[in-house]
Amino acid sequence: MNIKDIFEQLDLRDSDVQGGELAVHSPIDGAQIAAVKVDSKEQIDTKINNAQTAFKQWRNIPAPRRGELVRLLGNLLREKKEALGALVSLECGKIYQEGLGEVQEMIDICDFAVGQARQLYGLTIVSERPSHKMREYWQPMGPIGVISAFNFPVAVWSWNTALAIICGNSVIWKPSEKTPLTAIACQKIFEQALTQFGSDAPDNLMQVLIGEREVGEQLVASTKVPVISATGSSAMGRIVGTQVAQRFGRSLLELGGNNAIIVAPSADLSIAFQGIFFGAVGTCGQRCTSTRRIFVHADVYDELIGKLKHAYGQVKIGDPLDENVLVGPLIDQDAYNNMQDALIIAARNGGEVVGGERILQDQYPEAYYVKPALVEMLGRVDNVQEETFAPILYVFKYTDLEEAIERQNDVPQGLSSAIFTTNVLEAEHFTCESGSDCGIANVNIGTSGAEIGGAFGGEKETGGGRESGSDAWKVYMRRMTSTLNYSKELPLAQGIKFDFSDL
């Protein structure tokens, strides 16, 4: 599929993708593929006001009917999976298979949300007073602000939007300035679903804000947007979280990871290898769940590391739309520079670096392809505290599991973690209260590639938010407790007497 076909299938017209101030470059070859219009301050204000108007109408539509809109969205995504998957590859550089996988995550969350639309359950609670009942209701919140990153340019939007919509909210989306095209394409698909849905949906239910940092800042500062869901670096999240807290808004933060895998002596090394390899080099190391560190038991160290080094030397790197390629480019020059800086520091600290160098420079002078790097830390440094958004895998040797878990946890981030073991005691220990401290703790599965059905997110500098499955829908709703009296008395709670009968 060429660019023209992709644009055509996604209904991206010249007026959508040309003549704007924000240039969009494909990381595949660095070429400019579009120039999109940036929202002005006034336009952002208008869109926020529009979102409030849309919310006031949408909240009155019964939730199962709201689910119908998300069902239509899921159907359209099925139809457009190949084109949108290809645009994801083109705009953020992940291989086509992973572009398709990302769209599949969107379809999956739509299916999930359709069912959830009939299950916005609250509790009933017994009252301490006679002839009284207590109930909990979950009510819509208002416009939901979604700030997403370049590396999952569409799936993260869909996790938030599918749930926010069935919960009765409107959505305002600020995508990464590196990936506005996929956002514009999603908005078009959403609008198509709205047309099919019928006239009981308001205009402006889902709007996109295009621009750089200041656009996001305006959204974050607005008291008219009660929830901000932000995905990106911990540095970004620290600013967003603080600003939203200051105005007593609610934030859902999904930030950096420093994900580790422990490989125990009993591990099935074949699946451990596969989990590590996909987690470390897949998406060119640009997932928040990418495997950044491994702790390998001394007994299996040589065998596993030998296998990994061999695979690192063989892996096909290049155009992500070529089906034989497993690793595409880094997003841009900054990402490349950050990777090189991290490798210099690793070598200075005694790490032995294999790979990491830039390749295909002659063919793609404006793009940044790298060999994934494997860094053996050889016991001289016992940990790596920083997340570098690039394919660098730090390798540590361990002998004592307790110590390996402690080192795994001893970083500021707490997103994803895994152990490969066939020892049930080790497996259960890893997921107990003194095991992994991460939001995700897998056994015999790598750190990346989570299904949408579970709650996704992590602790510490990962921000504490949870998105997608389980009960993550509750973050898009407010809880209302209601006590109802069906007697002719008014007894006070806690047995308080307040006698004014002689007044």
Quote the longest CA-to-CA distance of the chain. Answer: 96
Q: Does 288 bind ligand UN1 (CB under 6 A)?
A: yes
**In whole angstroms, what is the distance from residue 98 CA to residue 89 CA?**
8
CB of 133 to ligand UN1, least distance (A): 41
Stretch that binds ligand UN1, among 64-72, 216-224, 281-289, 487-495 (CB under 6 A): 281-289
Q: How far is the CB of 121 from ligand UN1 (least distance, A)?
A: 26
**Smallest Cα–Cα separation from 58: which of 136, 138, 158, 166?**
166
β-strand pairing of 132-140 with 124-126: antiparallel
Of the listed 92, 110, 167, 288, which one is catalytic?
288
Rounded to whole angstroms, how far apart are CA atoms 9 and 90?
A: 14
Q: CA angle 133-135-140, nearest 5°? A: 155
Residue 472 interacts with ligand UN1 (CB under 6 A): yes or no: no
C-alpha pair distances (Å), 302 with each of 275, 379, 407: 17, 15, 21
Q: Cβ closer to ligand UN1: 140 or 391?
A: 391
The catalytic position among 254, 376, 387, 426 is: 254
Which segment (75-83, 150-158, 301-309, 344-352) binds ligand UN1 by CB under 6 A? 150-158
| CA–CA distances in Å: residue 154 to residues 85, 396, 433 | 9, 34, 34
Closer CB to ligand UN1, 222 or 231, in the complex: 231
Q: Which stretch binds ligand UN1 (CB under 6 A): 4-12, 187-195, 285-293, 425-433?
A: 285-293
Q: Does 152 bind ligand UN1 (CB under 6 A)?
A: yes
Contact 383, 401 (CB under 8 A): no
Backbone angles phi, psi at 321, to 5 degrees: -90, -5
Q: Dihedral through CA 310, CA 451, CA 268, CA 426, nearest 10?
A: 130
- State which of residues 211, 448, 462, 477 lies at the interface with ligand UN1 (CB under 6 A): 448
Q: Does 99 bind ligand UN1 (CB under 6 A)?
A: no
Instruction: Provide the minimum distance between the beta carbon of 8 and ligand UN1 in the complex, in angstroms, as a whole number.
Output: 29
Choose between 202 and 449: whose C-beta lies nearer to ligand UN1: 449
For residue 432, indicate whether it is catalytic: no
Contact region with ligand UN1 (CB under 6 A), list: 43-51, 148-156, 220-228, 365-373: 148-156
Of 93, 328, 449, 469, the one binding ligand UN1 by CB under 6 A: 449
Q: Which residues contact 476 (CB under 8 A, 6 or more apart)?
A: 140, 141, 144, 160, 163, 164, 167, 169, 227
Does 391 bind ligand UN1 (CB under 6 A)? Our answer is no
CB-facing half-sphere around the CA of 164: CA atoms within 13 A: 29
Measure the CA–CA gap between 121 and 1, rounded to whole angstroms. Answer: 44
CA distance 132 to 350: 69
Report how many residues bind ligand UN1 under the rule CB under 6 A: 11
Token pair 């209260």: residue: 433
Q: Smallest distance from the beta carbon of 144 to ligand UN1, in angstroms?
A: 18
Active site residue 288: yes
Instruction: Check binding of 146 to ligand UN1 (CB under 6 A).
Output: no
Q: Is 450 in the site for ligand UN1 (CB under 6 A)?
A: yes
Q: How many CB atoms lie within 10 A of CB 356?
A: 22
* Residue 168 vs 329, nearer CB to ligand UN1: 329
Span of 47-55, 119-127, 328-336, 447-455 interacting with ligand UN1 by CB under 6 A: 447-455
Which residues does the annotation mark as catalytic? 254, 288
Give the residues lining the site for ligand UN1 (CB under 6 A). Answer: 105, 151-152, 156, 231, 287-289, 448-450
